[in-house]
């Protein structure tokens, strides 16, 4: 009897968790008439904001891959005093209140800082520009890539690493020919999470680049003007588009990993 109750409680807990995650999404998708969704997504400003978010998310994800994967490799391969503290600090962008992350970025890249004024003088403003959106997204989302890649690298047997080094492979060859192929699934997962999170980044982006509108900032502006009711068709369209996008990424990624 007790075993049966525990099993039932286990299944009920899982079902409640799944329902809690899905129910608001289903309601949102069902509440907006298709005509209202189509009409909302014909607005040029909304399409421009979506295009800006897609482009900036792609750029920030590329930066995370190019620089974050080597960082993950270094964290796995080397031991040094304070490594635990360093890894803890690298997680902070994920847990900081979004506005705090934006304030930290403005303190480094703002128009009155050395870096910000230098870039602006060379026609590359780091705030109120796409560059500012990319910097905000990159800062907030980069831990996803670093730590998922690190988890994948950590599972590679040390014997394989030693065999590569005994064959005379240098650090780059070991990284590129051994670690990256064997951890490809983790890297792809990290890249997908990074891109998805970058699309939704709001707080730091608000401070770094209120203009041009990214999709989350545009949604906020519309919300302040028209309330929740005006947002339903836009949000419903976003839910549908992301559902299709995430499913496609999962399908392509799983096939790629199986081939690997």
Question: What's residue 166's pLDDT?
Answer: 86
Q: Write the pLDDT tens digit of every residue in 149-172.
A: 999 999 999 888 888 888 888 889
- Please give the tally of structural domains in the chain: 1
Whether 112 is covered by a domain: the verdict is yes
Q: What is the pLDDT of residue 125?
A: 92
- Supply the pTM of this predicted model: 0.85
| Maximum separation of any 2 CA atoms in the chain, in Å | 75
Q: Is residue 101 part of a domain?
A: yes
The answer to whether residue 35 sits within a structural domain is: no
Rounded to whole angstroms, the Cα distance separating 238 from 235 reads 5
Per-residue confidence (pLDDT) for residue 129, from 0 to 100 = 94
CA–CA dist 102, 95 (Å, integer): 13
pLDDT the model gives residue 30: 79
Q: Domain range spanning residue 129? A: 50-210
Pick the closest to residue 137 from 215, 82, 218 (CA basis): 215
Calculate mean pLDDT across residues 112-125: 92
231 found inside a domain = no
> Averaged over 124-138, what is the pLDDT?
94
- Residue 256 or residue 51, greater confidence: 51
Given this model, what pLDDT does residue 34 score? Answer: 81
Question: Which tens digit of pLDDT belongs to each residue from 188-205?
Answer: 889 988 998 898 899 899
Domain membership flag for residue 24: no
Question: Is residue 255 very low, low, confident or very high in pLDDT (cuts 50, 70, 90)?
Answer: low
Q: Is residue 60 part of a domain?
A: yes
Give the residue carrying structure tokens 């509108």.
213
Within a domain: residue 195?
Answer: yes
pLDDT at 17: 94
Cα–Cα dist 212/55, whole Å:
12
pLDDT at 259: 58
């Amino acid at each position: 009897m007790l075993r049966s109750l525990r099993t039932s409680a286990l299944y009920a807990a899982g079902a409640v968790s799944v329902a809690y995650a899905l129910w608001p999404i289903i309601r949102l998708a069902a509440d907006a008439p298709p005509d209202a969704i189509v009409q909302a997504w014909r607005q040029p400003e909304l399409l421009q904001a979506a295009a800006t978010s897609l482009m900036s998310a792609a750029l920030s994800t590329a930066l995370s891959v190019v620089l974050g994967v080597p960082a993950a490799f270094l964290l796995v391969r080397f031991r040094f005093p304070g490594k635990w503290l360093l890894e803890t600090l690298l997680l902070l962008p994920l847990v900081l209140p979004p506005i705090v992350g934006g304030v930290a970025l403005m303190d480094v890249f703002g128009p009155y800082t050395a870096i910000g004024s230098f870039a602006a003088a060379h026609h590359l403003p780091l705030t109120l520009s796409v560059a500012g959106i990319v910097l905000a997204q990159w800062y907030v989302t980069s831990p996803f890539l670093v730590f998922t890649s690190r988890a994948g690298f950590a599972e590679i047997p040390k014997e394989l690493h030693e065999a590569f080094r005994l064959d005379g492979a240098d650090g780059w060859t070991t990284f590129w020919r051994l670690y990256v192929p064997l951890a490809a699934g983790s890297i792809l997962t990290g890249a997908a999470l990074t891109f998805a999170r970058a699309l939704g980044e709001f707080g730091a982006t608000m401070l770094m680049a209120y203009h041009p509108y990214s999709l989350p900032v545009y949604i906020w502006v519309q919300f302040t003007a028209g309330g929740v009711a005006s947002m339903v068709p836009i949000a419903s369209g976003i839910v549908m588009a992301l559902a299709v996008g995430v499913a496609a990424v999962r399908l392509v990624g799983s096939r790629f990993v199986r081939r690997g």
